[in-house]
Amino acid sequence: MATETNQAAEKEGWGSQLGLVLAMAGNAVGLGNFLRFPSLAAQNGGGTFMIPYFISLLLLGIPLMWIEWGIGRYGGKYGYSTSPGMFEKLWNNPLAKYLGALGVFIPLAFVIYYTYIESWTLGYAVMSFTNQMPSIAGQTPQEAFATMGNYLATYQGTNNESHLSGTTMSWLFFIITLGTNLFVLSRGIAGGIEKMAKIAMPLLILFAIIVGIRVLSLPGAMDGVAFVWNPDFSRITDGAVWLAAAGQIFFTLSLGTGSIETYASYLKETDDVVLTGLATSSMNEFCEVVLGGSIAIPAAAAFFGPGAATAIANAGTFNLGFQTMPAVFSGLPGGFLFGGIFFTLLFFAGITSSLALAQPAMAFFEDEMKMKRTRAALVVGAVMLFGCIPIVLWLQYGFLDEFDFWAGALLLLVFSLIETILFFWIFGAKKAWDEIRKGQQINLPGFFFPIMKYVVPILLIVILIKGAIDGMIPRITFQTWQDLPGWSRDTATVAQRILYEFGLAGRQLVENTGDLPNFWYRWGARIEMLVIYIMFIVLVSIAWKKRGGRNREGADA
Amino acid sequence: MITAMILQSTEPIHMTGGGWVFIAAAWVFILTLTFYTFGKILGKK
């Protein structure tokens, strides 16, 4: 169509293949590479975790990445940088564009809360470099851990007496982080995102190597390495380990957010996606397995002793990043410098991801709503700012946690399943396969064809079912363990466990006490996300009506 | 729980032969893939 061709001709593009790879890798590399992977590996059989991990990379991660790149480049050919238009090209059905709206809503909802977490890394970096982190001189490791826990709570404002969290410092760094994101986004693809990636990614790797060498030189650090890598072959037959591996591969490559499609849409029709996609994945794995596996857990083991390694691994990403690691660095000579470097690398990992997550919304407002880039950045910024206010203010009541579950986990799986079925089943497997291989700079082996068509959707369905049983059902029945006063996963009776697993614990509590803590906050978060999605449904509808009008004008001309 | 477990055991965990095999295999695979793909990208300039 003439209108689509004109749009395609005006589209931005990447300056170089290397710049694209660094930007895509930046999208993938995030806090999880350095904080989540080592904990997960340690908890799931150590070295043997690598077996399901690499098999998942081969059967799910890389094939799905190629699918997303293929969809993006294909849609970009017709002038579409976001998934509403892309999905409509794959499936000529009025529903397609509204399914595609997920690919704009999900990354925006994700980046709303992710930017706040990213701002913590900036705040911690500045506090470290300026030697303002609390001193732990003379403290035992237990006391140091508690000191840093208090510091985090003070920074976030969750331990004040007020009902509301958020402090001057947390707001300040959030505004600076948001402003930096918007500034880069307003400079466009080559002039903004690519330039940032070319600076941030090499520095990230350099900083990780510096910190890694420092950590591995600590006495006791090799205990942490052993904790991550010593194999426990008894776990290899545990289905939960395989699912954990598949889940980690899915999330570490930032699949299912719509951002890969958007980035790929700026490619030319005959630009390679096979080699470039593989390079992106390999860089992500380098950051995760080689660098990520060498820093956090070894540091924790060196400082707290090997006995605490299990508990620290189980305590989660935030505790590891913002409590354990600051305690470790505070106890080191020159620790303010290494701590500053560590949190700066986390900030680089975060900002390259947040730029990718915000770009689909940017592209949507520019391309479909015909906004100039600066105005689009302001609109996206306003949504991110106002969308994040409840998250900052009600952090301790589960607002961020709720966003993280839906927009940071479950919906990514849903979107990935939709796009895979659209591309390989509705658009056509042969067409999809040929589309991915266009312009390939390395030969895509034929065995990936049945993997993309059959294995990827099956694996996504399995992970989705597990996620629904483990996470969604308890949530939509208004309960999680932290919402149920007096209930604890560790001390629950058999009866309580049964009630919980079947989603009845929350209702039981309401009957008994008439009140569910966090109930309104969690529903507030869900309503906020729903409002954002409905907003994009309406905007898609408006954009398509306008597009229909422009097409009629073009046909008449 | 973490504070209770800290320093609970000071028994070191040594890298076993299996641990070295897995870390070496993983690192070699990833580094080979990374150098191969980036070599191809940079080499065609």
pLDDT digit string, tens, across residues A529-542? 999 999 999 999 99
Interface test with A, best of B14, B20, B23, B42 (most A CBs within 10 A): B23
DSSP conformation class of A449: H
Does residue A72 have a pLDDT over 80?
yes
**Contact status, residue A224 vs residue A297, Cβ threshold 8 Å:** yes
Picking from A15-24, A168-177, A343-352, A508-517, which range would have the lowest pLDDT averaged per residue? A508-517
**Contact status, residue A6 vs residue A79, Cβ threshold 8 Å:** yes
pLDDT at A476: 63
Does residue A99 have a pLDDT over 80?
yes
Chain B residues closer than 8 Å to A221 by CB? none
Whether A227 has its CB under 8 Å from any CB of chain B: the answer is: yes
Average pLDDT rounded to a whole number, residues A102-108 = 96
CB-CB under 8 Å, A282 with B33? yes
Whether A211 has its CB under 8 Å from any CB of chain B: the answer is: no
pLDDT digit string, tens, across residues A378-409? 999 999 999 999 999 888 887 888 888 888 88
CA distance to partner chain A, nearest, from residue B41 (Å) = 7
CA distance to partner chain A, nearest, from residue B39 (Å) = 10
pLDDT digit string, tens, across residues A430-464? 999 999 999 999 999 999 999 999 999 999 999 88
Does residue A276 have a pLDDT over 60?
yes
Does residue A188 have a pLDDT over 60?
yes
pLDDT at A508: 64
Rounded to the nearest integer, the mean pLDDT of chain A is: 88
Name residue, tokens 């694996």: A459
Q: Which member of A145, A230, A308 has the closest CB to residue B16?
A: A230
Picking from A187-191, A312-316, A426-430, A462-466, which range would have the lowest pLDDT averaged per residue? A312-316
For residue A67, name the pLDDT band (cuts at 50, 70, 90): very high
DSSP string, A166-208: --HHHHHHHHHHHHHHHHHHHT-IIIIIIHHHHHHHHHHHHHH
As separate numbers, helices (DSSP H) first and strands (DSSP E) second, chain A gives 30, 0
CB-CB under 8 Å, A50 with B15? no
For residue A514, name the pLDDT band (cuts at 50, 70, 90): low
Cα separation of A128 and A339, whole Å?
A: 6
CA distance to partner chain B, nearest, from residue A532 (Å) = 39
Chain B residue whose CA is closest to A147: B3
